[in-house]
Amino acid sequence: MSQIIKIENYNPKWESEFCKLQAVIETAMEQLILSIEHVGSTSVKGLGAKLILDIDVVIEDYNVLPNVIKGLEKIGYFHQENWSFEGREAFGRKDILVPWDGKSTIWMEHHLYVCNKDSKELARHLAFRDYLRDHPEAIIEYEQLKKDLAKNAKDRTDYSLGKTNFITKILEKAMKSY
């Protein structure tokens, strides 16, 4: 069986890549956003991950979304309505140089979402990330699970489904404090 998913050991460069992306997006968005959050496995020090950053851009509410979409389009993103749902809007990259910042810098692969500040999906992302950051034993358990699934999953869907019980268990604990 060929390996479909590759889990890399934690790399501190992931944080610096996020900071570069954050700076470009903040500059393009000016006052339209509240914050930009690094979520997902690459945001947790010590946790192995796929080489994809997950980024949540936080907005006040959906009233600003049309302007946010226009701002993101100017730097090379496009709104993926078919991957979006209430509380989380997905964005794709027009090419590998996105976001366009005039420097032709190649950025790390990333998933970009826009969430309103009251979004349940945003709360889940932050709660899961923060729980892992505060519980080193959970990092070890999650990384081992991900590596095992990467070796044995038949496809990406199988890999994702294999993580569901662990994520649900952590979210049940983590959401109590959110």
Residue 148 confidence (pLDDT): 95
Q: Which residue has the tokens 């034993």?
A: 137
The 10s digit of each residue's pLDDT in 64-122 is 999 999 999 999 999 999 999 888 999 999 998 899 988 767 678 999 999 999 999 99
Architecture of domain 13-177: 2-Layer Sandwich (3.30)
**What are the extents of the domains in the chain?**
13-177
Residue labelled with tokens 């999906």 = 121
What confidence score (pLDDT) does residue 2 get?
Answer: 46
- 97 contacts 104 by C-beta, under 8 angstroms: yes
pLDDT category, 30, cuts 50, 70, 90? confident
CA distances from 163 to 92, 103, 120, 152 (A): 24, 38, 19, 13
What tens digit of pLDDT does each residue of 120-140 get?
A: 999 999 999 999 999 999 999
